[in-house]
């Protein structure tokens, strides 16, 4: 059964652990609303509509989910999360992300161990596919494992293609600070292709930051 969302309240009321296909039928403005991110297990199709006024991650956990055709504009996410923190999602288990755009936004998560604009933390042993995702004019501010696009990829089963980050990366430490990804495993079936980054850094020692990715 499909779920159609046209208002902020309908997005807020989306059930936790939804496995359905969700369609946005209009742009959503969350300004002034209290929004609590949830675990999502279905397909979320933004139909290229905009989500504005976001003050919390859109999703807490993506678990076997597909998210596509979503535009997040003007998000100002401030979170006290101590694990993953991201504007689209805090944590990913299995996920496919396609044509996600995040523009003119910021995330502040200085208590977080993993922080990125798109995703904070990709858990070990799971799968991630990212394609044609654009993050532009976004400020990412975390503690460690901080990356413009993704904070930390703990799996070697991932593909990231045709995606970019333009913005600033700030951190309170120098542990795994990257313009594109804070830390990623680069073994197994891991693949990053046709991606680019233009990042500025602020951290205790900018010479310890990696313009693209820290990997092992």
Let me know: does 127 contact 154? Beta carbons within 8 Å.
Answer: no
pLDDT of residue 207: 59
Average the pLDDT over 174-196 and give the result.
90
**E strand or H helix at 201, and its extent?**
strand 196-202
Fold of 2-215: Pectate Lyase C-like (2.160.20)
List the structure tokens of 207.
């010479």
Inter-residue long-range contacts of 50-53, CB under 8 Å, 24+ positions, other chains counted: 51/11, 51/24, 51/27, 51/75, 52/27, 52/28, 53/29
DSSP 39-92: EE-SEEE-TT-EEES--S-SEEEESSEEEEEEEEES-EEE---SSEEESSEEEE
Residue 89, C-beta contacts closer than 8 angstroms, at least 6 positions apart:
37, 57, 58, 59, 60, 61, 62, 67, 95, 118, 119, 120
The model's pLDDT over 57-95, given as tens digits with 9 standing for 90+, comes to: 999 999 999 999 999 999 999 998 888 999 999 999 999
- pLDDT of 130 strictly over 90: yes
- pLDDT of 14 strictly over 60: yes
List the structure tokens of 97.
């992300």
89-92 and 119-122 beta bridge pairing: parallel
- pLDDT of 175 strictly over 90: no
Rg of the chain, C-alpha, whole Å: 16
The model's pLDDT over 190-210, given as tens digits with 9 standing for 90+, comes to: 999 999 999 998 888 765 677
pLDDT of residue 216: 56
Rounded Cα gap, residues 75 and 66, in angstroms: 21
Average the pLDDT over 163-177 and give the result.
93
pLDDT of residue 199: 93
Q: Where are the domains of the chain?
A: 2-215
Residue 15, C-beta contacts closer than 8 angstroms, at least 6 positions apart:
38
| 44 vs 173 pLDDT, higher one | 44
pLDDT of residue 22: 98
SS3 123: coil
- pLDDT of 33 strictly over 90: yes
In 3D, which of 29, 88, 81, 83 has the Cα closest to residue 58? 88
pLDDT of residue 167: 97
pTM of the model as a whole = 0.95
- pLDDT of 136 strictly over 80: yes
pLDDT of residue 107: 98
């Amino acid at each position: 059964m499909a779920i159609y969302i046209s208002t902020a309240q309908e997005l807020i009321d989306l059930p936790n652990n939804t496995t359905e296909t969700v369609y946005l039928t209009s742009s959503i403005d969350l300004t002034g609303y209290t929004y609590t991110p949830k675990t999502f297990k279905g397909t979320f199709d933004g139909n290229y509509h905009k989500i504005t006024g976001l003050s919390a991650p859109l999703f807490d956990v993506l678990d076997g989910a597909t998210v596509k055709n979503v535009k997040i504009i003007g998000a100002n996410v401030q979170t006290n999360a101590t694990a993953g923190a991201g504007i689209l999602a805090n944590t990913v288990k299995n996920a496919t992300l396609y044509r996600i755009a995040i523009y003119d936004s910021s995330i502040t998560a200085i208590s977080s161990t993993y922080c990125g604009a798109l995703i904070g933390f990709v858990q070990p042993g799971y799968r991630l596919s990212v394609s044609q995702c654009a993050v532009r004019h976004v400020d990412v501010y975390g503690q460690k494992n901080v990356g413009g696009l993704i904070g930390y990829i703990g799996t070697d089963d991932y593909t990231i293609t045709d995606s970019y980050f333009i913005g600033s990366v700030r951190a309170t430490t120098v542990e795994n600070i990257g313009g594109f990804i804070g830390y990623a495993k680069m073994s197994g079936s891991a693949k990053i292709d046709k991606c680019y980054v233009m990042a500025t850094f602020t951290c205790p020692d900018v010479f310890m930051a990696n313009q693209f990715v820290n990997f092992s």
